[in-house]
């Protein structure tokens, strides 16, 4: 059932109210979580010492030995934390934001996509973190010259400041959401994640006149609240199947080209960045040989949404044979 204008208006009003003060709460929460992790770590160390002491005293008892083996078998402190520290689960782990009935806006589910099963040799090239004046125009120059489509995961506050760099250059490309200020979604409450995603969503609509429907969490980090916020706003999430390893190949750029061309699979999603640390220029300055190398292998470049549509049209893969 489609939403009425009044219902959409009420949801937008709720989203804007949730946004107020959210960024300050994120900063405060980060500090509190860091302090809590410090206390938890010290508590776990004390607990582990007490446990080991007790286990030593009762070493002759089979039950104590069994418990000690179970708790310490896969790494000691972490196992103890897992067994006695359930209260350490962060709020950001909760994937359902309310106690009552709730479902994501888009067909009741949130897809998290790394790659797509497709019978066609398609690949989606993606760029994160822009737009910024340093390299975003250079990336668009290359894509224009090579007639390549891409998906740009845009940081909302950077788009508001630098939208003029790309406003007239996005015709063939897809605009997607990379949150408002590139903060870590895995530490946010549901209202904070809703604000970070929703504010960027509105910026994309205002600057580019588009409604983004794909979210990539900064750093690839997310918890349950990021999924629930994405679902409330009608988003699916996009990760990647292969990324540029600029630091690894900083001294040998041709090897980065070989790595990307040799390891990209059909239906793959390639992660790159159009701003950031200087080593990322290793990838950006070698986009042309990467693009041409993939085309020589028969690949066609599409946006992430086009890739997903192609996957939906492709027949389901045959089930794996049992050994």
pLDDT for 28: 52
What is the C-alpha to C-alpha distance for residues 152 and 171, in angstroms, rounded to an integer?
Answer: 12
pLDDT by 10s per residue, the chain, length 323: 444 555 545 545 544 554 554 444 544 544 454 454 444 444 444 444 443 344 343 333 333 333 333 333 333 334 333 334 456 889 899 999 999 999 998 789 999 999 999 999 999 999 999 999 999 999 999 999 999 999 999 999 999 999 999 999 999 999 999 999 999 999 999 999 999 999 999 999 999 999 999 999 999 999 999 999 999 999 999 999 999 999 999 999 999 999 999 999 999 999 999 999 999 999 999 999 999 999 999 999 999 999 999 998 876 556 666 66
Rounded to 5°, the CA angle 175-180-185 comes to 105
Q: Which of 128, 129, 236, 274 is catalytic?
A: 128
Q: Is the peptide bond before 273 cis (omega within 30 degrees of 0)?
A: no
pTM of the predicted model as reported, rounded to 2 decimal places: 0.74
pLDDT for 51: 37
pLDDT for 322: 65
Given the candidates 3.20.20.370, 3.30.413.10, 3.90.550.10, 2.40.50.140, the CATH classification of the domain at 112-313 is 3.20.20.370
The long-range contacts involving 76-81, CB below 8 angstroms and separated by at least 24 positions, are: 76/48, 77/44, 77/45, 77/48, 80/44, 80/47, 80/48, 80/51, 81/40, 81/44
- Whether 221 is a known active-site residue: answer no
- Whether 144 is a known active-site residue: answer no
pLDDT for 123: 98
Domain ranges of the chain: 23-89, 112-313
pLDDT for 313: 84
Q: Which of 140, 182, 201, 273 is catalytic?
A: 273
β-strands 122-128, 112-113 pairing: unpaired
Residue 268 — φ and ψ, nearest 5°?
-80, 160
Max Cα–Cα distance, the chain, nearest Å? 76
What is the C-alpha to C-alpha distance for residues 264 and 271, in angstroms, rounded to an integer?
Answer: 11
Rounded to 5°, the CA angle 78-83-87 comes to 95
Assigned token pair, 118: 């497709």
pLDDT for 189: 97
pLDDT for 88: 84
Contact 92, 188 (CB under 8 A): yes
A 10 A CB-CB count for 40 gives 15
pLDDT for 107: 82
Sign (positive/negative) of CA torsion 99, 21, 177, 260? negative
Assigned token pair, 309: 């549509």
């Amino acid at each position: 059932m489609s939403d009425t204008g009044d219902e959409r208006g009420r949801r937008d009003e709720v989203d804007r109210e949730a946004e107020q003060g959210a960024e300050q709460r994120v900063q405060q929460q980060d500090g509190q979580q860091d302090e809590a992790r410090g206390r938890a770590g010290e508590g776990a160390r004390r607990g582990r010492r007490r446990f080991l002491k007790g286990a030593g005293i009762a070493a002759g008892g089979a039950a104590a030995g069994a418990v000690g083996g179970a708790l310490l078998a896969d790494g000691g402190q972490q196992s103890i934390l897992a067994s006695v520290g359930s209260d350490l689960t962060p709020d950001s782990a909760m994937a359902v934001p309310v106690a009552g009935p709730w479902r994501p806006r888009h067909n009741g589910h949130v897809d998290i996509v790394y790659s797509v099963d497709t019978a066609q040799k398609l690949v989606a090239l993606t760029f994160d973190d822009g737009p910024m004046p340093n390299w975003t125009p250079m990336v668009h120059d290359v894509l224009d010259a090579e007639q390549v489509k891409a998906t740009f995961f845009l940081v909302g506050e950077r788009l508001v400041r630098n939208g003029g760099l790309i406003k007239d250059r996005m015709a063939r490309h897809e605009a997607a959401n990379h949150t408002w200020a590139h903060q870590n979604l895995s530490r946010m409450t549901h209202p904070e994640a809703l604000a970070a995603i929703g504010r960027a969503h509105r910026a994309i609509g205002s600057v580019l006149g588009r409604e983004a429907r794909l979210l990539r969490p900064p750093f690839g980090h997310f918890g349950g609240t990021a999924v629930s916020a994405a679902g409330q706003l009608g988003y699916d999430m996009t990760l990647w199947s292969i990324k540029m390893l600029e630091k690894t190949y900083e001294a040998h750029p041709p090897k980065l080209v070989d790595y990307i061309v040799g390891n990209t699979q059909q239906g793959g999603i390639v992660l790159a960045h159009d701003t950031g640390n200087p080593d990322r220029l290793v990838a950006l300055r070698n986009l042309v040989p990467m693009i041409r190398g993939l085309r020589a292998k028969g690949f066609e470049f599409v946006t992430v949404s086009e890739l997903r549509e192609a996957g939906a049209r492709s027949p389901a893969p045959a089930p794996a044979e049992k050994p």
